Structure 1
Amino acid sequence: MARDLGVREEPETIAGHPRGIVTLFFTEMWERFSFYGLRAILYFFLIATAADGGLGLPKPTATAVVGVYGALVYLLALPGGWIADRVLGARKAVLTGGCVIMLGHVCMAVPVGGAAAIWAGLALIVAGTGLLKPNISTMVGRLYPDDDNARRDAGFSIFYLGINLGAFAAPYVVSNLAADGRWHLGFGAAAVGMALGLVQYVRGARHLRGTGDAPGHRLTPRERARFTRGALTALAAGAAAMTLWAVSGTLTVDRFTVALTLLTVCVPVAYFAYILLGDHGLTAMERSRMKAYVWLFAAAAIFWMIYDLAPTVLNDFAATRTDLRMFGFSITAATTQSFNPLMIMILVPVFAALWVRLGDRVGAAQKFAFGLFMIGVSFVVMALAADLAQSGRISVWWLFWVYLIQVFGELSLSPVGLSVTVELAPRAFRSQMLGVWYLSFAVGDAIGGQTARLLGHMSQPMYFTSLAAVALVAAAVLLGFAHRLRVLMGERREEAVTGPA
Structure 2
Amino acid sequence: MTEFWERFSYYGMRAILLFYMYYSVSKGGLGFDKPTAMSIMSIYGSLVYLSSVIGGFVSDRLLGSRRTVFWGGVLIMFGHIVLALPFGAPALFISIALIVVGTGLLKPNVSEMVGGLYSEHDVRRDSGFSIFVMGINFGSLIAPIVVPWAQGKWNFHVGFSLAAVGMFIGLIFYAIDGRKYINPDANQAPDPIKANELKSVITKALLMVVAVAIILVVMALTGVFNIANVITLITVFAIGLPITYFVMMLRSEKVTTEERSRVWAYIPLFIAAVIFWAIEESGSVVLALFAAEQTQLQVGSWTIEPGMFQMLNPLFILIYGPIFARLWVRLGKRQPSSPKKFYLGLIFAGLSYIVMVLPVMMFGTGTKVSPLWLVLSWAVVEIGEMLISPVGLSVTTKLAPKAFSSQMMSMWFLADAAAQAINAQIVRLYTPNSEIMYFSIVGIVSIVVAVILAVMTPRIEKLMQGVN
Q: TM-score, normalised by structure 1?
A: 0.90
Structure 2 counterpart SS, 1:215: coil
Q: Out of 288, 296, 321, which is 1:348 matched to? A: 321
Partner of 1:321: 294
Q: Out of 42, 45, 49, which is 2:24 matched to? A: 49
Matched, 1:230 2:227: no
Q: Out of 140, 145, 150, which is 2:114 matched to? A: 140
Q: CA deviation at 1:161?
A: 0.5
Q: Distance in 1 between matches of 2:278 and 2:189?
A: 34
Unaligned runs of 5+ in 2: none
- Matched-pair contact (CA < 8 Å) for 2:398–2:467: no
C-alpha deviations, 1:366-406, integer Å up to 9, x for none? 00011100011111101112223415211101111111111
Matched, 1:479 2:454: yes
C-alpha deviations, 1:399-451, integer Å up to 9, x for none? 11111111111000000000000110000011222111100010111112322
Q: CA deviation at 1:91?
A: 0.5
Matched residue type, 1:396: P
Q: Distance in 1 between matches of 2:432 and 2:312?
A: 30
Q: What are the within-5 Å matches in structure 2 for residues 85-484 of structure 1?
A: 85-112=60-87, 114-148=88-122, 151-179=124-152, 182-206=155-179, 207-279=181-253, 281-325=254-298, 329-361=302-334, 362-390=336-364, 392-455=367-430, 459-484=434-459
- Matched-pair contact (CA < 8 Å) for 1:80–1:131: yes
Pick closer, same or farther for the CA change 1:233–1:283 going to 2, 3 Å. Answer: closer
Q: Distance in 2 between matches of 1:166 and 1:326?
A: 25
Q: Distance in 1 between matches of 2:176 and 2:109?
A: 19
- Matched-pair contact (CA < 8 Å) for 1:46–1:57: yes
- Matched-pair contact (CA < 8 Å) for 1:139–1:211: no
Matched residue type, 1:109: A
How well do the aligned residues superpose, as a CA RMSD in angstroms? 1.7
- Matched-pair contact (CA < 8 Å) for 1:326–1:396: no
Q: CA deviation at 1:78?
A: 1.3
Q: Distance in 2 between matches of 1:211 and 1:83?
A: 15
- Matched-pair contact (CA < 8 Å) for 1:268–1:436: yes
Q: Name which of structure 1's ranges 194-203 and 42-51 shifts more when overlaid on structure 2.
A: 42-51
Structure 1 counterpart SS, 2:466: coil
Q: What are the within-5 Å matches in structure 2 for residues 14-93 of structure 1?
A: 26-93=1-68
* Over 4 Å off, 4+ runs: 325-328
Higher helix share: 2
Q: Distance in 2 between matches of 1:290 and 1:60?
A: 37
Pick closer, same or farther for the CA change 1:188–1:246 going to 2, 3 Å. Answer: farther
Identity of aligned residues (%): 42
Structure 2 counterpart SS, 1:432: helix
Unaligned runs of 5+ in 1: 1-25, 494-501
- Matched-pair contact (CA < 8 Å) for 2:116–2:182: no
Q: Distance in 1 between matches of 2:337 and 2:55?
A: 32
Q: Distance in 1 between matches of 2:153 and 2:309?
A: 18
Q: Distance in 2 between matches of 1:278 and 1:246?
A: 38
C-alpha deviations, 1:142-178, integer Å up to 9, x for none? 2122234x53222222111111111001111111112
Q: Distance in 2 between matches of 1:134 and 1:89?
A: 12
- Matched-pair contact (CA < 8 Å) for 1:53–1:181: no
- Matched-pair contact (CA < 8 Å) for 1:98–1:194: yes
- Matched-pair contact (CA < 8 Å) for 1:321–1:389: no
